[in-house]
């Protein structure tokens, strides 16, 4: 029954423009950002002042730009959960499946979408880099890639996004509203957290904000090109940051499941 729920959730989401707009916007943003680097640094790249980057740079830089995906993931999560209340679809499906299965199906689908965005980003990054180096600069496209680190990036960058999704699910379930859950999710993660991180920069507790955990994880992207970078003292090291993201995700998801289980969906 779980896989049937997963298929139903995918069918419902894939028939709406929101998913495809998300993928399109992310692909365009990543492609244009990387293209802008090759255009604006054309003189330096041609005269050798700036070393021509290899494929590892295209991969790492593209994944590092994926902060743009977070607002869309919040909107999709709020949309998927909130619409069950407005359209009364949860009343229908919960007669045929446990509540935790319905919620887990949504969460798994959101994880799959997050991974798909990461994969598309790698493809776009490679394609843009290949075009500029092959047809504009006419230089070899250096394949200086640590493939294991690249595969790992799909995992840890997805993990860094999961607290945002889980928090939005909590909002959508407790408030039973698509609009309000999205507003609160975006308001906290995209406005309040950035304000806290800026105003209280250097304060120890800001290390634990979603924003800084995501920032910490992004330093692992240097491994794609076998590079080592120094982690600022104001944030956690990547490993503790990912452990913290995992704990946040589990707590928030279990909280959402607890609220959902105790809720009168007919109300």
pLDDT in tens, 123-154: 999 999 999 999 988 888 778 899 999 999 99
The number of C-alpha atoms within 13 Å of 130 and in the hemisphere containing its C-beta is: 8
**pTM of the predicted model as reported, rounded to 2 decimal places:** 0.92
What is the distance between the alpha carbons of residues 206 and 200, in angstroms, rounded to a whole number?
7
Question: How many residues belong to the chain?
Answer: 267
Tokens for 120, please give them.
């598309």
Residue 162's pLDDT is: 97
Does some domain include residue 114? yes
How many folded domains does the chain comprise?
A: 1
The predicted structure's pLDDT at residue 48: 81
The answer to whether 57 touches 45, Cβ cutoff 8 Å, is no
- The per-residue pLDDT for 92 is 53
Interhelix angle 69-86/99-131, rounded to 10 degrees, is 150
Is residue 267, in this structure, part of any structural domain at all? no
Give me the residues of the chain with pLDDT under 70, please: 1, 86-97, 264-267
In whole angstroms, give the CA distance from residue 91 to residue 50: 60
- Full residue range of the structural domain in which residue 241 is found: 2-262
pLDDT at residue number 202: 79
pLDDT at 91: 52
**If phi over 0 gives left and psi between -120 and 50 gives alpha, with beta otherwise, what is residue 59?**
alpha
State the residue for tokens 């009343």. Answer: 91
Residue 231: inside a domain, yes or no?
yes
- Please state the separation of Cα 182 from the chain's center in Å: 16
**DSSP state at residue 50:** S
- Confidence at residue 266, expressed as pLDDT on a 0 to 100 scale: 55
For residue 95, the model assigns a pLDDT of 54
């Amino acid at each position: 029954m779980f896989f049937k729920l997963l298929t139903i959730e995918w069918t419902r989401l894939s028939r709406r423009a929101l998913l495809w707009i998300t993928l399109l916007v992310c692909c365009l943003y990543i492609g244009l950002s990387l293209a802008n680097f090759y255009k604006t640094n054309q003189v330096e790249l041609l005269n050798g002042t700036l070393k021509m980057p290899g494929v590892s740079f295209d991969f790492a830089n593209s994944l590092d730009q994926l902060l743009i995906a977070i607002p869309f993931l919040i909107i999709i999560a709020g949309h998927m959960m909130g619409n069950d209340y407005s359209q009364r679809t949860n009343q229908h499906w919960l007669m045929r499946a446990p509540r935790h299965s319905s919620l887990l199906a949504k969460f798994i689908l959101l994880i799959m979408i997050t991974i798909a965005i990461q994969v598309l980003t790698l493809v776009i990054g490679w394609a843009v880099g290949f075009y500029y180096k092959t047809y504009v600069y006419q230089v070899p496209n250096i394949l200086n890639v640590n493939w294991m680190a690249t595969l790992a990036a799909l995992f840890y960058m997805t993990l860094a996004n999961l607290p945002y999704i889980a928090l939005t699910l909590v909002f959508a379930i407790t408030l039973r509203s698509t609009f309000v859950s999205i507003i609160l999710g975006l308001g906290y993660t995209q406005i309040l957290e950035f304000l806290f991180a800026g105003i209280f920069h250097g304060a120890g507790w800001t290390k634990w904000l979603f924003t800084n955990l995501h920032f910490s994880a992004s330093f692992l992207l240097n491994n794609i090109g076998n590079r080592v970078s120094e982690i600022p003292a104001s944030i956690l090291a990547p490993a503790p940051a990912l452990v913290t993201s995992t704990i946040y995700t589990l707590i928030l998801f279990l909280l959402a499941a607890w609220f959902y289980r105790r809720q009168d969906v007919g109300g």
